[in-house]
Structure 1
Amino acid sequence: MSTPEGKGGREARRGSGRRRPGGRLLIGLLCAVLGFAVTAEVRSNDRSTKFATARQDELVGILGDLSQRSERLRGDIRDLESTKAGLERDTQGQTAVEDARRRAATYGMLAGTLPAAGPGIRLTIDDPRGRLRAEDLLDALEELRDAGAEVIQVGDVRVGVSTYFADAASGGAVADGRLLTRPYVFLVIGDPHTLATALNIPGGVLQTLRNDGARGKVVQEQRIVIRAIRSP
């Protein structure tokens, strides 16, 4: 027969034997975790020390490649800056040319050496009795200038700064030495409303013409074309 002590001892030893597989599993799990950590650390160190472990000739090659790329980029930058500067110079030159052309056109129209077109009025003066004198036409011209007329043509004569009127020996008037035929027609470029208002004011040109037995008619137009030009 076995004693209680002997039975208890055998049970204790059997219990102890049953706990061993769990311990080995825990140890294995710890070893796996440790191995994974070591592997991750090795890979991290491998990535971070890629250039540190490279041979000298490999480092020289990498450095040379980077230097060539950097030089090519600097060359591209220089080319782009040169192109930009050229475009800016061309733009400024073209702007200057266009501005010079605009000025030349403006001066040409004011001097009477170029045709002109724009909004304005058509002033027709009918003198059936032939009573108007050169000074009457000059008064009409001066009134138009004071009202802001930019370009004026009387008959076939382009008005300039030196334009003059004179009485013709056979009656009527001449402008710059050329005989004007009745009715006298003024083609005027400027603000239509302002020009018409200036001619129609009390005591103005139209009233003066009526007092002399002549008739004046003003027509506002959106486009007046003046083709007569003066010799330079």
Structure 2
Amino acid sequence: MRDETPDVPEQERPDTGRDRLVRALMKPSRSQAVVGVLLAALGFAAIVQVRTNQLDDTYSGRREQDLIEILGGLTGTSDRARREISRLEDTRNQLQSDTSARSAAIEQAEARVETLNILAGLVPVTGPGLRITITEETGRVSIDSLLDTVQELRTAGAEAMEFNDEVRLAAESSFNDIDGNLEVDGQTLEAPYVLEVIGEPHTLHSGLTFPSGPISSLETQDGSRVDVEELTSVDIESIRTTDRPEFAQPGDGQ
């Protein structure tokens, strides 16, 4: 049986919905293009927002036990960090304490060396004190009178003494009378004898002027005149030389 439906030209066929959609996609109008761009932008913004929410809610989907374990790990890390900080602070404080103790020990040692050098007569010194001038008038100064004078000055706190700007006295100084000449540490002294002393001036002076003291003996027994000056500054320039011990060594712990 033959189909009797007449052929209708393609351009005369009525438009269907499918045809209109195809034409819109293939040749969109200006308004359709604008709507498409807006839809694309809206979709991109929605995707970004979703991803941001996912980043912000990293732990939102975790179970309670997981969150407890994570918190415990963070707490443990924080505790270890605090312990390490405390250990480092203790180490720093210990180093500071050791440094302070070492500095104090060095300062004490340096002060002791300085004191010993002064007492041994190894360095020039300056300070307040006396200048004692002993002038022979009607007699000769005896070695005993000089020794008494030096000993009384030491007792009164003399820290350094010097005869005639050339002989520095120390604990081991020796006095001798050789053929009528006075010698101190092997050096002959000539009158007048000038003894310069460093120490508290008034105390030193008092140590010489008590009844039957050194000044009294020098004046009444030796026929000498004694002049004493209290000075705010006395310079003692002479020094002694010492030999390094050949056999003696410091004991254990010294």
Same-fold status (TM-score > 0.5): yes
- Alpha-carbon deviations, 1:65-109, whole Å to 9, x = none? 222122111110110001111111111111111111111222222
Matched with 1:97 is: 106
Look up the match of 1:144. Answer: 153
Q: Which amino acid aligns with 1:118?
A: G
User: For residues 69-80 of structure 1, what are the structure 2 equivalents within 5 Å?
Assistant: 69-80=78-89
SS at match of 1:117: strand
List alignment gaps of at least 5 residues for structure 1.
1-50
| Residue 161 of structure 1: aligned partner | 171
Q: Distance in 2 between matches of 1:222 and 1:66?
A: 71
Q: Match of 2:234? A: 224
Which of 90, 104, 122 is the equivalent residue of 1:113? 122
CA distance in 1, matches of 2:192, 2:67: 100
* Counterpart code for 1:73: R
Matched position secondary structure for 1:153: strand
Query: What's the CA shift for 1:198?
Result: 2.1
Range moving further from structure 2, 142-151 or 82-91:
142-151
Where 2:239 maps in the other structure, the secondary structure is coil
Q: CA deviation at 1:130?
A: 6.4
From 181, 198, 205, the equivalent of 1:196 is 205
Range moving further from structure 2, 143-152 or 154-163: 143-152
Aligned to 2:64: 55
Higher helix share: 1
Question: Does structure 2 retain, via aligned residues, the 8 Å contact 1:133–1:172?
Answer: no
Q: What is the Cα-based RMSD across aligned positions, in Å? A: 2.4
> Unaligned 5+ residue runs, structure 2?
1-59, 243-254
CA distance in 2, matches of 1:130, 1:174: 18
Q: Deviations over 1:124-181 (max 9, x none)?
A: 1122566223333223212222333232211211112221222354x64221111223
SS of 2:157's partner is: coil
* Contact 1:121 1:187 (C-alpha < 8 Å) held by counterparts: yes
More displaced 10-residue stretch of structure 1: 122-131 or 194-203? 122-131
1:16 is matched with: none
Q: Tell me the percent identity.
A: 34
Letter matched to residue 126 of structure 1: T
Alpha-carbon separation, structure 1, partners of 2:80 and 2:206? 73
